[in-house]
């Protein structure tokens, strides 16, 4: 059962930590790319949208799946706690509470990763919509229909 504890501590929480670094790196890169993108370089609206939304799906995927990965870690941690309870001859309430609280850290980490990812993704999508609207106005004039 020690391997289960290592999976929760290093696998789940470590994986969520790596996912958060990836999401923040992509978010920072995309923020500055979208902000500095010159609309005169775009030839078609479809190409512009593809260019501006590149890799945003990674942030959205991390944001939507991180809570489930954290929940999986919590389930494994609770299983480990129950296993250790079954192996003991006398019940130690303190040990049970510590085990359960440590199991919940995976869910907390999942939420800690997911909430900023969704926030960043929404900001970047808004920036993309603004750039697309500016492109339509530049291309078709001020009366162009926008989203």
Is a pLDDT exceeding 90 seen at residue 144?
Answer: no
- Cβ burial of 104 (10 Å; 0-12, 13-18, 19+) is middle
pLDDT digits (tens, 9 = 90+) for 99-116: 788 789 999 999 999 999
Domain membership of residue 130 as a residue range: 2-140
The per-residue pLDDT for 54 is 96
Q: Is residue 68 in a domain?
A: yes
Pairwise CA distance, residues 111 & 107, whole Å? 6
Q: Which residues of 118-147 are buried (b: 16+ CB within 10 A; e: fewer)?
A: bebbeebbebbeebbeebbeeeeeeeeeee
Q: Is residue 6 in a domain?
A: yes
Q: Is residue 52 in a domain?
A: yes
Q: Is residue 11 in a domain?
A: yes
Do residues 83 and 1 make contact, with C-beta atoms less than 8 angstroms apart?
A: yes
- Take residue 72 and report the two structure tokens written for it: 């999986």
- Take residue 32 and report the two structure tokens written for it: 């500055």
Q: Is residue 146 in a domain?
A: no
- Take residue 34 and report the two structure tokens written for it: 């979208």
Total domains in the chain come to 1
Q: Is residue 77 in a domain?
A: yes
* Mean of the per-residue pLDDT values of the chain: 89
Per the model's pLDDT, the better-predicted residue between 120 and 10 turns out to be: 120
The per-residue pLDDT for 80 is 86
Q: Is residue 147 in a domain?
A: no
Pairwise CA distance, residues 143 & 147, whole Å? 13
Q: Is residue 26 in a domain?
A: yes
pLDDT band (50, 70, 90) for residue 71? very high
């Amino acid at each position: 059962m020690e391997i289960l504890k290592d999976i929760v501590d290093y696998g789940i929480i470590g994986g969520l930590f790596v996912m958060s670094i990836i999401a923040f790196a992509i978010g920072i890169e995309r923020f500055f790319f979208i902000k500095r993108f010159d609309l005169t370089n775009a030839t078609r609206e479809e190409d512009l949208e593809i260019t501006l939304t590149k890799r945003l799906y990674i942030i959205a995927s991390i944001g939507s799946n991180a809570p489930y990965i954290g929940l999986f870690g919590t389930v494994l941690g609770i299983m480990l706690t129950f296993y250790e309870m079954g192996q003991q001859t006398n019940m130690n309430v303190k040990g049970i509470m510590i085990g359960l609280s440590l199991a919940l850290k995976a869910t907390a980490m999942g939420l800690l990763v997911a909430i900023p990812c969704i926030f960043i993704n929404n900001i970047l999508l808004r920036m993309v919509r603004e750039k697309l609207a500016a492109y339509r106005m530049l291309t078709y004039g001020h009366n162009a229909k926008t989203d």
